[in-house]
Amino acid sequence: MTTLGIIGAGHIGSQVARVAVASGYDVVIANSRGPETLADLVAELGPRAKAATAEDAAAAADVAVVTVPLHAVDKLPAAALAGKIVLDTNNYYFERDGRIEALDKGEITTSELVQRSLPGAKVAKAFNHIYASEITADAKPAEIPIGGRSPRPATMPKRSHS
């Protein structure tokens, strides 16, 4: 069974967790405020989910999703993510992240910045081009085959496009 370690339980992280659990994956989710603050989300997600520290979520992950503000990537547990696929959801918002000169000048991408913070990981961009609500609204069976075949189809409701 593939375990998805999610670091960041905000809009994107919680929606990815919902689809992952509905697709049969185990989820270990973390935020910056501590596992105890995720009790309601974990209760909603059910027995396939548990809350943890970022370090523990990274260690448990077969595949990780990093969905923290760009200014916080240097606080990620780099050693625990070494050798793992890390899905990076970041977008650069200077109002939130502060000015990053290399990004402002187009000398580097956000994923290159994340990769520099996680030198042993295999970073790939994901979920940064979609509204968080669309992750569950438009989920299709087996749409997130992470680490191989999806164990069962997602059961998320389809959104009407009328």
pLDDT in tens, 62-119: 999 999 999 999 999 999 999 999 999 988 889 999 999 999 999 999 999 999 999 9
**Model confidence at 135: pLDDT above 80:** no
- Residue 123: what are its φ and ψ, rounded to 5°? -90, 135
Long-range contacts of 142-149 (CB under 8 A, 24+ apart): 142/23, 143/19, 143/23, 144/16, 144/19, 144/20, 144/23, 144/25, 146/2, 146/4, 146/20, 146/25, 146/62, 146/63, 147/2, 147/62, 147/63, 147/85, 148/2
Q: Which residue has the higher pLDDT, 17 or 92?
A: 17
Domains and CATH numbers, the chain: 3-137 (3.40.50.720)
- pLDDT confidence of residue 154: 43
- pLDDT confidence of residue 136: 63
Q: How far apart are CA 109 and CA 45, in angstroms?
A: 33
- pLDDT confidence of residue 139: 57
**Model confidence at 125: pLDDT above 80:** yes
Q: Which residue has the higher pLDDT, 147 or 156?
A: 147
- pLDDT confidence of residue 132: 72
Q: Which residue has the higher pLDDT, 29 or 161?
A: 29
**Model confidence at 140: pLDDT above 50:** yes
**Model confidence at 152: pLDDT above 90:** no
**Model confidence at 150: pLDDT above 60:** no
- pLDDT confidence of residue 129: 72
Share the mean pLDDT of the chain. 85
